């Protein structure tokens, strides 16, 4: 069973079809404290929605800092360009279609995230005997990364929004699954050997991950 909470305060529950409604309600009651804390975090963050309008002035995160979107529309532009200019996320494009803008920006984050996580995977490779078979970035709603039994690593395309030390936690977390394909005591022990302060990094991600939206 999975409980999802999204701005401004939407709560959804995904449960197996064989679960009785009474059991689902009991499980939700057991998570009431966690639900209340998450709703409080959303309220304190000031986030009122879980999606972007892709309009000028909107805030997007990159490596932990806020960048203001600046869209320069010019019908003479043959190829859309997305990049950072100071504290602005600049998009030069011939379109004003929000859906197309969304794709351009999402593709930019996908590439940025792949470049960054690939470099960080290589940096932490000295701690591991096995190398990842493949590294990819893709759209994931609630997961920041995953590792398959074949050592294929997938990372959320929004990873580039997080500070580098948080990206390092996500990378190390998934690489440790190449050794322990679970969340056992041994798994967390390995994470701690590599990142002694991983609990602080994990706490930051749990608290601020809700701000990293596209």
CATH number at 158 reads: 3.30.2010.10
Give the 3-state secondary structure of residue 31. Answer: coil
Rounded-to-integer distance, Cα 8 and Cα 49, Å: 5
Same domain, 168 and 202: yes
Same domain, 102 and 124: no
pLDDT tens digits for range 43-66 = 666 665 556 888 888 999 999 999
201 preceded by a cis bond (ω within 30 of 0): no
Residues in the chain: 214
In a domain, 23, yes or no: yes
Residue 55's pLDDT is 86
In a domain, 143, yes or no: yes
pLDDT tens digits for range 98-134 = 889 999 999 999 999 999 999 999 999 999 999 999 9
Same domain, 39 and 86: no
Could you say which DSSP state residue 147 is in?
A: E
Residue 168's pLDDT is 98
Task: Extract the tokens encoding 123.
Answer: 């940096």
| Residue 18: CB atoms within 10 Å | 6
In a domain, 50, yes or no: no
Please name the helix (run of DSSP H) or strand (run of DSSP E) that holds residue 109, with its range, or none: helix 98-124
Across 66-75, 150-159, 163-172, least confident range:
66-75
Same domain, 140 and 181: yes
Mean pLDDT computed over 56-84? 91
For the chain, the domain total comes to 3
Same domain, 126 and 207: yes
Shortest CA distance to 123 belongs to which of 183, 195, 187? 195
Mean pLDDT computed over 165-169? 98
**Chosen domain end from 108, 126, 143:** 108
**Chosen domain end from 92, 108, 124:** 108
Across 80-89, 139-148, 153-162, 167-176, least confident range:
139-148
Rounded-to-integer distance, Cα 88 and Cα 83, Å: 8
Q: Which of 20-24, 48-52, 97-101, 146-150 has the highest mean pLDDT?
A: 146-150
Same domain, 33 and 76: no
Domain region containing 147: 110-211
Residue 47's pLDDT is 60
In a domain, 101, yes or no: yes
Residue 44's pLDDT is 67
Same domain, 81 and 10: no
Is 60 exceeded by the pLDDT of residue 210?
yes
Same domain, 120 and 95: no
């Amino acid at each position: 069973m999975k409980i999802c909470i999204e701005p401004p305060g939407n709560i959804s529950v995904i449960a197996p079809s064989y679960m009785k409604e009474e059991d689902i309600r009991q499980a939700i009651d057991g998570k009431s404290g966690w639900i209340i804390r998450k709703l409080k975090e959303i309220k304190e963050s000031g986030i009122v929605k879980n999606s972007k309008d892709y309009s000028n002035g909107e805030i997007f995160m990159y490596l932990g800092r806020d960048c203001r979107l600046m869209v320069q529309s010019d019908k003479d532009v043959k190829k859309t360009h997305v990049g950072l200019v100071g504290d602005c996320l600049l998009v030069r494009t011939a379109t004003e279609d929000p859906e197309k803008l969304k794709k351009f920006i999402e593709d930019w984050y996908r590439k940025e995230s792949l470049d960054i996580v690939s470099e960080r995977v290589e940096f932490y490779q000295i701690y591991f005997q096995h190398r990842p078979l493949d590294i990819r970035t893709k759209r994931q709603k609630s997961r920041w990364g995953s590792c398959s039994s074949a050592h294929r690593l997938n990372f959320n395309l929004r990873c580039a929004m997080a500070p580098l030390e948080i990206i390092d936690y996500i990378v190390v977390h998934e690489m440790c699954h190449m050794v322990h394909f679970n969340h056992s005591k041994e798994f967390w022990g390995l994470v701690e050997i590599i990142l002694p302060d991983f609990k602080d990094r994990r706490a930051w991600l749990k608290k601020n991950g809700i701000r990293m939206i596209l």
